[in-house]
Amino acid sequence: MSTWSLPRLLMGLHEDVERRLGIIRGTVGHSVAKGDASEGVWLDLLRTYLPKRYTAASAHVVDSEGAFSDQIDVVVFDQQYSPFIFHYHGQIVIPAESVYAVFECKQVVDSSQVDYAQKKVASVRRLCRTSLPIPHAGGTYPPKPLPYIFGGLLAFDSRWDPKLGEPLADALCSTPEGRLDIGCVAAHGIFTTASDGTYTITPEGRPATAFLFRLISLLQSSATAPMIDIQAYARWLVV
């Protein structure tokens, strides 16, 4: 008889993420190193478990007008159809058309960190994105509508009491440009938002695993990245 257990597998996945984040918080003394290590835990999770059409990296995002986003801790982007603009010694720049989701990573979340994450997400959403008609054997499909870019916040702990509750819900109120659609506080729970902008906060329940599954579900609902107008970027070669 098999000794595999799905509940234990899902619990183990969450416990591994929470344990690693906890070790980083308790042992890494330098704030920048602590932040980089925390980003690494979330990036490892997404690179390992997201479908292979996606990948994740810490990066800047650029558009064909030459505008750049802030530095983004975790960018989930298309791996199949979209090119890199720049990738050198860990510095990555990704075209805006490739992006599916962006996340800010923090050790501990509070209202200032939520506001900071909202501004980071907005810096990506306001970028220009191209979408070309798609040729096929019988003619041409019209350009794809631009998919919504999901935004979120990933953390280990919360400064609020209760850890997840009304203070978090109040802090999450935002303009559409900066809205955080999903987030995980690994030691306490997750939050998600509905299409009308209302939030659901779910405490406990293997948060890291719940976050991963919810993100995959959101990505499944999103269209494939549009056909990028690479010549719109190439025009900068003559500047």
Model confidence at 142: pLDDT above 70: yes
- Is the pLDDT assigned to residue 154 strictly greater than 60? yes
Which residues does the annotation mark as catalytic?
Answer: 73, 104, 106
Q: State the pLDDT at residue 239.
A: 60
C-alpha separations of 118 from 35, 72, 155, 192, 223 in Å: 18, 11, 14, 14, 23
Return the residue matching tokens 């494939």.
224
- 12-26, 39-53, 102-116: lowest mean pLDDT where? 12-26
Per residue in 82-114, pLDDT tens? 787 888 887 899 999 999 999 999 999 999 999
Domain boundaries, the chain: 7-48+102-128+146-227
**Percentage of the chain lying above the pLDDT 90 cut:** 57
Return the pLDDT at 165: 87
**194: nearest Cα among 169, 171, 227, 212:** 169
- Using a 10 angstrom Cβ sphere, with 0-12 exposed, 13-18 middle and 19 or more buried, the burial of residue 5 is exposed
Percent of the chain with pLDDT over 70: 97
- What pLDDT does residue 1 have? 56
d(CA 114, CA 131): 31
> Which of 118-122, 149-153, 161-165 comes out lowest in average pLDDT?
161-165
Mean pLDDT of the residues in the chain: 90
pLDDT digits (tens, 9 = 90+) for 188-237: 999 998 877 788 998 878 999 999 999 999 999 988 888 899 999 998 88
Coil, strand, or helix at residue 233? helix
pLDDT of residue 97: 95
Is it the case that residue 172 has pLDDT exceeding 80?
yes
CB 54 within 8 A of CB 100: yes
Q: Does residue 124 have a pLDDT over 60?
A: yes
The pLDDT score that the predictor gives to residue 2 is 67
